[in-house]
Structure 1
Amino acid sequence: MQTAEQESRLEQKLIDLSVGIDRFEGYTRPHGQLIASIADRIGTRLGMAAHDRIYMQQAALVHDIGEATMDRSYIRENRSLSEDERFDLHRHPVIGEQEAAKIGLARGVQLLVRWHHEWWNGGGYPDALSGEQIPLAARILRASDSFAAMMETRPGRPNLTPDAARKEIAGLAAIEFDPTIAKLILEPELLRDILEWHATAQLPA
């Protein structure tokens, strides 16, 4: 059982890691923290236990630590990936799982990092899980990560307008996203909060 001080230190460590990952990927806003916030709101709506939501938030902050560890220049280049590069990039959730273990995160968090690219229809990676084979928290992270990324401009990936992002999420319900979660993420109140947060949040200098 961690003390409050230990929990606070871990949270700050993960936020610091998240900021570094966001900078590596070319984000100008705290992407990992936005995912954690969206995911926690959805998890609360779905009645997830506080302990499970904490694991989910921790995984959100470091979900792409595998990409940062791989340190591939193509991630930040303004071009489409080659087939070999895409295959290489698909290793990052497994590498992320290993990195999450190295920094002492719980096994449940490690697995969420591993599975944050699994798709509802089985078309994701690395394990091609589908439907409810994918843990609820990983399904929430998939939708939260995608929606947050759509709103942010990165090298080779211009941002979408809020309406275009909503249509993208709705169109991929029951394909990439759990349809229940896709519906929740597009509720007006949550969407308004996401847009307000996104408009004001900045990575630290």
Structure 2
Amino acid sequence: MILTRFESTSDGRATQAVEEAFARLASAADEFEAYAHPHALRLASLTDEIARSFDLASEDISSLRIAALAHDLGELAMKRSYIKRADALTEAERIDLARHPVIGEQEAARAGADRAAQLLVRWHHEWWNGTGYPDALRGEQNPLMARILHAADAYVALTAERPFRPARSEEETRQHLVEYSGIEFDPRVVRALLALPCRHRL
């Protein structure tokens, strides 16, 4: 266990103190994964904008923001060195890494995230066509907020420089999202993301 439980509101929604605590934990996860810039904070900002374009309720946006900050806590808890390695993962490593959303869900719960945020962490690697993990949810079986988180995470990760690869260009990243729209990503979410101003690029 890497987390300490923080104060939360009686209805389970994150307080400002909890959000700040998750931001600190997210910074630790970013450091472990060797991101050159704050990955989770960029992701939280982008998911906010996409969610507002869908007119989601404020409590849902709050849950989504916490999930964005918490989404890689499973990887931090696992502390696997292969996460930062340039070489392709072995089959055993891929199977092992696929556990991180469930571990992240558990860590988010221990930290005081509301149940909606916990589930978003669990489902942030589900694919639109049902071939994602851990639960192989297909289409709208996966909640809209989780589909937003997945597409936004891909955008932010691809446009970030990593020790083992350069950042992709804005054009390359947009092309990737379009290419996998309807396969990996919800087409509506892709359209909403690509309609935003390009200010999340570092």
Q: Are the equivalent residues in 2 in contact too, given 1:80–1:156 (CA < 8 A)?
A: no
CA distance in 2, matches of 1:191, 1:153: 20
Contact 2:18 2:112 in 1 (8 A): no
Decide whether the 8 Å contact of 1:76 with 1:155 is kept in 2. yes
For 1:46-92, what per-residue CA distance to the aligned partner results, in whole angstroms no more than 9, with x for missing partners? 11000000000000001010000000011112211101001100000
How far apart are residue 192 of structure 1 and its match? Answer: 2.1
Give the structure-1-normalised TM-score: 0.90
For residues 193 and 48 of structure 1, the distance between their equivalents in structure 2, rounded to whole angstroms, comes to 22
Larger helix percent:
1
Deviation at 1:123, TM superposition (A): 1.0
Which residue of structure 2 lines up, in the alignment, with residue 135 of structure 1? 143
Partners of 2:150 and 2:16 lie apart in 1 by 26
Kindly indicate whether the alpha-carbon contact (under 8 Å) linking 1:139 and 1:177 is maintained by their aligned counterparts in 2.
yes
* Counterpart residue type for residue 198 of structure 2: R
Residue segments in structure 2 that go unaligned for 5+ positions in a row: 1-7
SS in 1 for 2:77: helix
Task: Answer yes or no: is 1:186 the counterpart of 2:201.
Answer: no
Return structure 1 stretches of 4+ with deviation > 6 angstroms.
none
CA contact (8 A) 1:121 1:131 kept: yes
Contact 2:130–2:138 under 8 Å retained in 1: yes
CA displacement at 1:137 relative to structure 2:
0.4
Q: Which residue of 1 aligns with 2:3?
A: none
Identity of matched residues, %: 46
Q: 1-side partners of 2:91 and 2:45: how far apart?
A: 33
TM-score (norm 2): 0.91
Residue aligning to 2:77: 69
User: Cα RMSD (Å) of the superposition?
Assistant: 1.4
